[in-house]
Amino acid sequence: MLNIPNFLTLLRIALVPYIAMRLLDGAYATACVLFIISALSDWVDGVIARHWNQRTRFGAMADPLADKLTMLTVTLLLTYLHALPWWFTLAVILRDVLIVAGALAFHFMIGQLVMAPSRISKLNTALAFILLVTVLAIEAGFLPDGPWRAALLYSTFLTTVLSGGWYVYVWGRKAIEARKAI
């Protein structure tokens, strides 16, 4: 069903190649604006879906996929363009692989996994967004570079590692409880 939240999710997915092309062209200002539009549409689609009860199965699957696709594309390209360090991007990729692999392993070995984002994961998402907008804005010349860029980078790195560890801990505990119940 194509409702407004699902349309906005599809719009976010469609924006990814345009953001990528602008980054590769060195048009950081345009990429920054498109990235902010994408993030705002994510917020708007969530508000609409919750407030007007327009949640769908498609939206539940496509929305986080659109988020990951957008964030990972921008992170990878900023690393390729030497605006972010490789070790940061490696941590982001490893965390995402860990979450997907862990969820699949739990599903096939234990049973259905009910996933809810943790507070540390929500903080990580917020910091990652702020970091990416900041780096894009610096590269576009909208903001001067400063020590707060490094502070944001290390804070986001820390929450990336902690949130990945949190999921391993929670799923491990759930797996032990499920095994005891058998």
Considering the domain architecture, whether residues 121 and 61 belong to the same structural domain is answered as: no
CB count, 10 Å around CB of 98?
15
The four Cα atoms 127, 132, 138, 140 give a dihedral, to 10 degrees, of -150
Domain boundary residue, one of 32, 66, 100: 66
Question: What is the tally of structural domains in the chain?
Answer: 2
Instruction: Classify residue 75: in a domain, yes or no.
Output: no
Which pair of structure tokens corresponds to residue 154? 């290390």
Q: Taking the complete model, does pTM exceed 0.85, yes or no? A: yes
Q: Which of 42, 45, 63, 67 is catalytic?
A: 67
Longest dimension (CA), the chain: 59
At 116-166, the pLDDT tens digits run 788 999 999 999 999 999 999 999 999 999 998 999 999 999 999 999 999
Considering the domain architecture, whether residues 41 and 110 belong to the same structural domain is answered as: no
Active site residue 145: no
At 46-74, the pLDDT tens digits run 889 888 888 888 888 889 899 999 999 99
